[in-house]
Amino acid sequence: MVTALVFITTERTRINEVAEKLVEIKGVSEVYSISGQYDLVAMIRVKENDEMAELITSQLAKVEGITDTETHIAFRTFSRHDLEHMFSIGFED
Amino acid sequence: MVTALVFITTERTRINEVAEKLVEIKGVSEVYSISGQYDLVAMIRVKENDEMAELITSQLAKVEGITDTETHIAFRTFSRHDLEHMFSIGFED
Amino acid sequence: MVTALVFITTERTRINEVAEKLVEIKGVSEVYSISGQYDLVAMIRVKENDEMAELITSQLAKVEGITDTETHIAFRTFSRHDLEHMFSIGFED
Amino acid sequence: MVTALVFITTERTRINEVAEKLVEIKGVSEVYSISGQYDLVAMIRVKENDEMAELITSQLAKVEGITDTETHIAFRTFSRHDLEHMFSIGFED
Amino acid sequence: MVTALVFITTERTRINEVAEKLVEIKGVSEVYSISGQYDLVAMIRVKENDEMAELITSQLAKVEGITDTETHIAFRTFSRHDLEHMFSIGFED
Amino acid sequence: MVTALVFITTERTRINEVAEKLVEIKGVSEVYSISGQYDLVAMIRVKENDEMAELITSQLAKVEGITDTETHIAFRTFSRHDLEHMFSIGFED
Amino acid sequence: MVTALVFITTERTRINEVAEKLVEIKGVSEVYSISGQYDLVAMIRVKENDEMAELITSQLAKVEGITDTETHIAFRTFSRHDLEHMFSIGFED
Amino acid sequence: MVTALVFITTERTRINEVAEKLVEIKGVSEVYSISGQYDLVAMIRVKENDEMAELITSQLAKVEGITDTETHIAFRTFSRHDLEHMFSIGFED
Amino acid sequence: MVTALVFITTERTRINEVAEKLVEIKGVSEVYSISGQYDLVAMIRVKENDEMAELITSQLAKVEGITDTETHIAFRTFSRHDLEHMFSIGFED
Amino acid sequence: MVTALVFITTERTRINEVAEKLVEIKGVSEVYSISGQYDLVAMIRVKENDEMAELITSQLAKVEGITDTETHIAFRTFSRHDLEHMFSIGFED
């Protein structure tokens, strides 16, 4: 699993709207509206690097209401949870 | 569930060591070593605000090798996953 | 009580106007126009995290004249005053 | 009443300790440990400008564990509360 | 006497014009066009805090050609000159 | 008259001490301890550019307790006061 | 061979489009879309300084969709590869 | 001789055009298009401070295509060259 | 092939020394000493994400003389050269 | 002729000392102590890129008292002066 965290700044009045559009994109597993200088952080979890490239440079770019994004690729994931298992066997409600 | 993302900068040679110590703290559900200007992002998931305050201002402060932290509280979580369910029924291996 | 400080930048000519609109929002207990790189700091005091999320990501977003906001959640409050008592038993004039 | 907000960065392991020392200083009405790039915000409420000058440039400077401070003087206070009344008639427990 | 220094950025072609408008405002004792990242620094010298608040948040805001201001209140003034005397007995030409 | 504003950051506990040392230097007409990210602003008023160069690059450098300085030369001074007259005919107490 | 790295920020929806236009310019040997605060890094490899000057200040300037560029000239290249050989004998597909 | 270095940012497509206009201004002795976050550095060499003030705050302001300028006055010049001689006896081609 | 660009700041006197040590690490294909706010940029080209993680968070961390690193993962590579071919069939001298 | 501007920050008390050492280095044609956030700007004028690389990454690094340098290579020089002629035929006193 390839994971990335995308720090997102949105237009002031579209924070929740952007978050809802993002989670509809396959590969976006969670989106948090957060305190501080960024508005949202999106967690991207996909199988292949190419999927990540496509999602970041094309799909994300098409979501309206975003003013800036800063992507951070995860080198390693440390957790007592089996995240690969949790997020890949469709824990979607 | 109260969620926070903590952006962490560590001493250059202690990135993995700090990550392994962090995931031993109850409430730290995942830690990612990431590209970019921060070294790690820790996901904190706890039940109460007081637990969050204690973890951030006391427990995190005691982890050696950290040079700076910047905490961002999640106002809302958007996901097709039932994160509350996934992370609270002990998906710890 | 959940407390937050919101650092606000406004359009140059609308500092006082924005402050007056903000204090009309339930949960905004005080607003200070301040020296330095921010124009206003709003003190938010509400009972529940959800109220905070709604106020920050929806209500604040609708106030015209604001160009940027940066929210900081208070983990702990230290005071010789009983703030919970003072601000919750309606010390409104 | 002259009001100021002081944004404070502390040594990592001394956040709560510094907050407790600050609230013992006459004129410091509240201290919040907060999320984001600052560690604490102290609310200063005094009667005269000279008191403010003395507190900021001398008393604050003596509190150990502080690494940086940035003071913002409040020009105006907007509130449905009568803050002058609340904070000046000794609502200290 | 309450003193403040206001760091001002102006539209590129209106530096001198803005300076001339500022010194017409009662309480603005001097304006310097300066080298570096700011264009002007205005020295404000008034009797009362309220006068300062009114000047900064209302009067300054109405001066056209200003793109940003950052106000710094003087806590203390150190000088071999008797500034209070010099600036208050009308040393206007 | 050649005028400059020097933005000064000092060691936390030596703000007033540094200000008092600065005003003893010939050419330093006033020093203000201020709110915001700088600790002091020193006003330098001398007759010749060489005097300014000597004061900034040699004399200021010898004042202990200063951690950083940023000098801004005034191109023009706008004022209803005759500053040249006020500061040059020895209005020192 | 004269080498430079150009850090490029583009309009959000034109990252790939800009990259494709850049590699058509003679002297642009590779373009990477990258994570972090920049969108692209272009590797420029030319024979003469004048070619570099022309490419950077004229040709790059004409590529639409770029919002900002920051050029960094390489003083020295360290590699186990013979880059001069690789990039100059036409390893174009 | 009074010398200043002006760091200049221009519109992306007008770097060379702005440089050519600047060197036509009396007092602008050289202009360099440079790598890094600024686009140009202009060397100003004039006889009097007033000439410098006029050039920086009025003449430079009228040059189209400039988006930002930051002026740095030279306190002292160190050189094995006799710059005063070289630049004042008309070494123009 | 997984590619990354690492922006590196070194101790002032150890720029070349660090570059020479870096190119000895398997996966570091080129290192450039560059103009601007960074000292070096290292190009990392490896086959697998895990190799990248190991190189960045462990091997790089052990190179003495580095004061800070900022890693940027390449999502896509655009080039008229067949970089995969050039760098993978041992063009090492 | 290859030209570069090096923005230099020095230890507070060693500005002039560093400038005097720099002008002794062959290729350093002038050094200015300047106002603003940098202390010195050194003008480097050499014949070949390799000379520039050697001067910047080795010779400059050995000058004591420097805390940071930022080198900007000149792509083009615009001037009514024949700088190549002036600086290359030994106008040294």
Shortest CA distance from H87: residue in chain J: J81
- Angstrom CA distances, J11 to A73, E29, E51, J33, stand at 38, 36, 42, 13
> Which is more confident, B44 or B90?
B44
pLDDT for res E85: 83
Interchain pair I35, J4: CB under 8 A: yes
Tell me if B29 sits within 8 A of B83, measured CB to CB. no
Per-residue confidence (pLDDT) for residue J90, from 0 to 100: 44
Whole-complex ipTM: 0.91
Structure confidence by residue, pLDDT tens digits, C8-46: 999 999 999 999 999 999 999 999 999 999 999 999 999
Using CA atoms, how far apart are residues C48 and C50, in angstroms rounded to an integer?
5
Closest CA to E70 of A48, C60, A20, C34: C34
**Helix ranges, chain E (H):** 15-22, 49-54, 83-88
The CA distance from D41 to H71, in Å, is 35
Distance in angstroms (rounded) separating the CA atoms of residues B62 and B25: 11
pLDDT tens-place string over residues D37-61: 999 999 999 999 999 999 999 999 9
Q: What is the pLDDT of residue I87?
A: 82
Distance from CA of D47 to the nearest CA of B (A): 32
Cα separation, A51 vs I69, in Å, equals: 27
Is chain D adjacent to chain H, meaning 3+ CB pairs within 8 angstroms?
no
Rounded Cα distance, H72 and J38, in Å: 9
What is the spatial distance between Cα B70 and Cα B5, in angstroms, rounded to a whole number? 8
> How does pLDDT run across E19-66, given as a tens digit for each residue?
999 999 999 999 999 999 999 999 999 999 999 999 999 999 999 999
Q: What is the pLDDT of residues C59-73, one digit of tens each?
A: 999 999 999 999 999
- The CA distance from E10 to E18, in Å, is 7
Residue among D3, D16, D78 whose CB faces C23 most closely: D78
Q: Which residues of chain F have pLDDT under 70?
A: 89-93
Enumerate the residues of chain J whose CB falls inside 8 A of the CB of residue G49: 2, 49, 75
Residue J92 pLDDT greater than 80, yes or no: no
Q: Which residues of I touch H (CB under 8 A)?
A: 35-37
| H36, I35 contact by CB (below 8 A) | yes
Task: Determine the pLDDT at residue C90.
Answer: 44
C62 → closest Cβ in A13, A16, A37 = A13
Q: What is the least distance, in Å, from the CA of G10 to any CA of chain A?
A: 11
Q: Give how far D70 is from chain B: nearest CA, Å.
A: 18
pLDDT at E84: 83
J33 forms bridges with which residues in the sheet? H76, J40
**Rounded to whole angstroms, how far apart are CA atoms D28 and J48?**
63
Look up residue A13 and give its DSSP letter. G
Question: Are residues E65 and E14 in contact, defined by beta-carbon separation less than 8 angstroms?
Answer: yes
User: Between chains, do D70 and F33 touch, taking CB under 8 Å as contact?
Assistant: no
* Closest chain I residue to J56, measured at CA: I35
Instruction: Give me the pLDDT at residue I91, please.
Output: 38
What confidence tier does G89 reach under pLDDT thresholds 50, 70, 90?
A: low
Show which residues on chain B lie within 8 Å of chain C, measured between beta carbons.
Answer: 2, 49, 52-53, 56-57, 73, 75-76
pLDDT at A27 over 60: yes
The whole-angstrom separation of Cα I33 and Cα G75 is: 5
User: Which pair of structure tokens corresponds to residue B12?
Assistant: 């250059």
Mean confidence (pLDDT) of chain A: 92
Interface residues of chain B, partner chain G, Cβ below 8 Å? 35-37
- CB-CB neighbors (< 8 A) of H35 in chain I: 35-36
Q: Return the sign of the alpha-carbon dihedral for residues E73, E75, E80, E81.
A: positive
Across the interface, whether the CB atoms of C32 and D92 are under 8 A apart is answered no
The nearest CA of chain C is from the CA of B31 a distance in Å of 21
Nearest Cβ partner for H58 among E16, E36, E37: E16
* pLDDT of the residue at C71: 97
State the Cα–Cα distance between residues J82 and J87, nearest whole angstrom.
9
DSSP output for chain C:
-EEEEEEEEE-GGGHHHHHHHHTTSTTEEEEEEESBS-SEEEEEEESSHHHHHHIIIIIGGG-TTEEEEEEEEEEEEEESB-HHHHHHS--B-
| Other residues' Cβ atoms within 10 Å of the Cβ of residue A42 | 26
Judged by DSSP in three states, J43 sits in strand
For B3-14, write each residue's pLDDT tens digit. 999 999 999 999
Higher per-residue pLDDT: H26 or D90: H26
Chain F residue whose CA is closest to D62 = F13
pLDDT in tens, G32-83: 999 999 999 999 999 999 999 999 999 999 999 999 999 999 999 999 888 8
Q: Which residues of E touch C15 (CB under 8 A)?
A: 57, 61
Element (DSSP H or E) covering residue E5: strand E2-10
- When CB atoms are compared, the residue of C49, C56, C57 closest to B2 is C49
pLDDT for the residue E83:
86
Q: What is the DSSP letter of G62?
A: G
Across the C/D interface, how many CB contacts are shorter than 8 Å? 110
Minimum CA–CA partner of H68 in chain E: E12
- Distance to chain A for C43, nearest Cα, Å: 14
Give pLDDT, residue H89: 53
Q: Report chain D residues whose CB lies below 8 A from the CB of C68.
A: none
Find the radius of gyration of the CA atoms of chain C.
Answer: 13
User: Nearest-CA neighbor of J6 among H16, J29, H28?
Assistant: J29
Write the pLDDT tens digit of every residue in H22-77.
Answer: 999 999 999 999 999 999 999 999 999 999 999 999 999 999 999 999 999 999 99
How confident is the model over B39-68, as a mean pLDDT?
96
Q: Do C53 and B73 touch (CB under 8 A)?
A: no
Average pLDDT score over residue span J21-43: 97
Q: How far apart are CA E4 and CA H74, in angstroms?
A: 28
Domains of chain J, each with CATH number or no CATH? 2-88 (3.30.70.920)
Mean pLDDT of B62-89: 90
Nearest to H28 by CA among H38, H39, H18, H14: H18
Helix, strand, coil % over all residues of chain D, rounded to 5 = 35, 45, 25
- Chain F residues near residue E53 by CB distance under 8 angstroms: none
